């Protein structure tokens, strides 16, 4: 039997900030402010969880009082 190697994925050490808010269609949107990733969710909890995971730190989420629309890969507008 061979020795097990430690699992060491290459991690992106840069952190991202996410804007989380409700769209005009009623879905919750989490958008990276740099336009690298986003997600559309049915509830706020899942949008925040996604932003925290993708953002890489506890202060990665900013909740918006205004509507946040998905960019559909077009970046931040």
Q: Please give the average per-residue pLDDT across 21-50, as a whole number.
A: 94
For all residues of the chain together, what is the average pLDDT?
83
Q: Please give the backbone phi and psi of residue 52, each rounded to the nearest 5 degrees, phi first.
A: -65, -45
Inter-residue contact 60 to 17 (CB < 8 Å): yes
- pLDDT bracket for residue 73 (50, 70, 90): low
Ranked by mean pLDDT, the top range of 22-26, 36-40, 53-57 is: 22-26
Q: Specify the DSSP class assigned to residue 63.
A: E
Tokens of 5: 């190697």
pLDDT of residue 72: 75
């Amino acid at each position: 039997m061979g020795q097990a190697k430690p699992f060491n994925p290459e991690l992106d050490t840069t952190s991202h900030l996410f804007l989380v808010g409700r769209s005009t269609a009623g879905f919750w949107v989490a958008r990276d402010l740099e336009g690298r990733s986003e997600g559309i969710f049915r509830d706020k909890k899942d949008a925040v969880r996604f932003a925290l995971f993708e953002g890489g730190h506890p202060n990665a989420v900013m909740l918006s009082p205004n509507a946040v629309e998905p960019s559909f890969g077009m970046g931040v507008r």
